[in-house]
Structure 1
Amino acid sequence: MARRGSRLAPPVTAGGAGLLIVLAAGLAVAAPIPVPGAALPAETGLAVARVRQAATESRAALESLRVQIRPPAPSGTPTMQAPTTQAPTTQAPVAQEPAAEQPARQPAGQRPGTLRLARGGTAALVRRELTADATLPVPSGVREATWWGAGLDAAEGATVFAGHVNWKGQTGPFAELWSAAVGDPVSVVDAQGRAFRYRVTRVETVDKHSLPTQAEEFFGQSGPHRVVLVTCGGRWVGGTDGYAANRVVIAQPE
């Protein structure tokens, strides 16, 4: 990861040097990522960014239906009994309560605290809080993704994951976003091993200088809950921008 003020070279001449991602403003890629809601008090931003703890799941106890079996008659001289006629009876159906919803099981082979894309790209999640000036730090490793915003179990708001496309000759898992398509699965497993599954519903390539006008749309903490994945890419322009574009992939809960 480049420090503030360091010089970045194009991938061809620097062995595939990756860049940091700009989420909400056309700033130098080595700077922290500004996010919507900068005017809010710091404690409000932090509260939004904090992962909500899911309520304890409980199962409704269902009463089992037992079939009563009459024991056989004692052995001895058989006796004949007159047939009896019984009026048919109608038994009201027994309504059973549905079992309480349980968190999805951890996807096979996916470790806690990770995000996995459709083609296997997996990033370790690093939860970041907003700084005093309401900016979001970027990941320090090519195989990490910064996590900010709504909790995975939130009813509304964007859960934002930002990662490198490449860095120092290594391709990051978020490079896969450039081949993402609507319908692709995305799975996230939190530190407690709870799995959350999403489907890609929107894929956008946005010029870095145009992204601020869509910041609230993509990264705002209102509206239906969604996961927003962001990385850099497109044409190399150098300077403070590095790459010219951001890839933004939005996924909705399944």
Structure 2
Amino acid sequence: MAGILATGTLVTTSRPEVLAGSATADEIPVVPAGPIGDSLRTGRGPDLTGLPGGASSALPEQPKQAPPPDKPEPGTVRLPEGGAATLVRKEVVDGVLPVPDGIGEATWWGAELTGSEGATVLAGHVDWKGAKGPFAELWRAATGREVGITDSAGTQYRFKVSQVLTINKNDLPSRALELFGPRGTHRLVLVTCGGQWVGGQSGYEANRVVIADPIT
């Protein structure tokens, strides 16, 4: 993927050597926002339906154990279909934020999870070198689905999707403050790219923007 956000107010380009971990991530100008806070296996016992030697020595069927609940890892986002990405906090310096270093990461900036206003923004790559990232599922997102975030202390936050937008990258800069800014009601904003591949710095022609509201 060659870009998450649009050229202009919000820009990113990705190079193969960046995602391979051999170079520093490209940087993208973003809307400055306030600081953000710090943020299976299932086991099954042996099937003991009986012992060797015939039915007379059979043991009663053992009750099946329910699999343990899926416990999110600290510092992760869990998307509606179950995809997960590691949250990577980057300091916003002069309005510039590095992009994630791989498809399994989501760059996190903006309002705190406990904030009363502003956007908590997570940006992730949709794919790289033929491998799809968890943020690819944003292209199947629907209103009413839930997104979960677990901060570094293990505290969990739940959000419900309220808007699903597809925005051409040329149109995104004019909506940057509206979508990603530090004002307005508190919301979670998930961003990735996709649509038609156009190459160059833009990469894909569009951004998928999913907005979710806190569940209280």
TM above 0.5? yes
2:135 touches 2:192 (CA, 8 Å); kept in 1? yes
Deviations 1:214-251 (A, max 9, x none): 00010010111000000010000111111000000000
Aligned to 1:194: 155
1:20 touches 1:163 (CA, 8 Å); kept in 2? no
Q: Which runs of 4+ in 1 moved over 6 A?
A: none
Aligned to 2:36: 50
Deviation at 1:27? 3.9
Which whole-Å CA distance do the structure 1 matches of 2:154 and 2:214 have between them? 17
Q: 1:111 aligns with which of 54, 69, 73?
A: 73
Task: Specify the SS of the correspondent of 2:2.
Answer: coil
Deviations 1:158-180 (A, max 9, x none): 00000000012211000000000
Could you list the runs of 5+ residues in structure 1 that have no partner in the other structure?
1-17, 38-44, 54-106
Which whole-Å CA distance do the structure 2 matches of 1:252 and 1:235 have between them? 29
Task: Specify the SS of the correspondent of 1:123.
Answer: strand
Aligned to 1:3: none
Identity value in percent: 52
Q: 1:32 aligns with which of 27, 35, 44?
A: 27
Which whole-Å CA distance do the structure 2 matches of 1:159 and 1:169 have between them? 29
Counting strand residues as a fraction of each chain, which structure ranks higher?
Answer: 2
Aligned residues: 174
Deviation at 1:26? 6.1
Deviations 1:151-201 (A, max 9, x none): 111111100000000012211000000000000100000000000000000
1:49 touches 1:148 (CA, 8 Å); kept in 2? yes
**In structure 1, what residue type is equivalent to 2:35?**
A
Could you list the runs of 5+ residues in structure 2 that have no partner in the other structure?
15-25, 40-68
Deviation at 1:142? 0.8
Q: Rg larger in 1 or in 2?
A: 1
Is it true that 1:246 corresponds to 2:216 in the alignment? no
Which whole-Å CA distance do the structure 2 matches of 1:177 and 1:32 have between them? 23
TM-score norm. by structure 1 comes to 0.65
Deviation at 1:28? 5.3
1:232 touches 1:246 (CA, 8 Å); kept in 2? yes
Task: Specify the SS of the correspondent of 1:49.
Answer: coil
CA gap of 1:199–1:243, structure 2 versus 1, over 3 A, is: same
1:25 touches 1:209 (CA, 8 Å); kept in 2? no
Which whole-Å CA distance do the structure 2 matches of 1:160 and 1:28 have between them? 15
Q: 1:217 aligns with which of 168, 172, 178?
A: 178
**In structure 2, what residue type is equivalent to 1:195?**
Q
Deviation at 1:141? 1.1
Is it true that 1:22 corresponds to 2:5 in the alignment? yes
2:38 touches 2:152 (CA, 8 Å); kept in 1? no
CA gap of 1:134–1:180, structure 2 versus 1, over 3 A, is: same
2:3 touches 2:201 (CA, 8 Å); kept in 1? no
**In structure 2, what residue type is equivalent to 1:173?**
P
Equivalent runs, 1:1-254 vs 2, <5 Å: 18-22=1-5, 25=9, 27=11, 29-30=13-14, 31-37=26-32, 48-51=34-37, 108-131=70-93, 133-254=94-215
Task: Specify the SS of the correspondent of 1:234.
Answer: strand
**In structure 1, what residue type is equivalent to 2:121?**
V
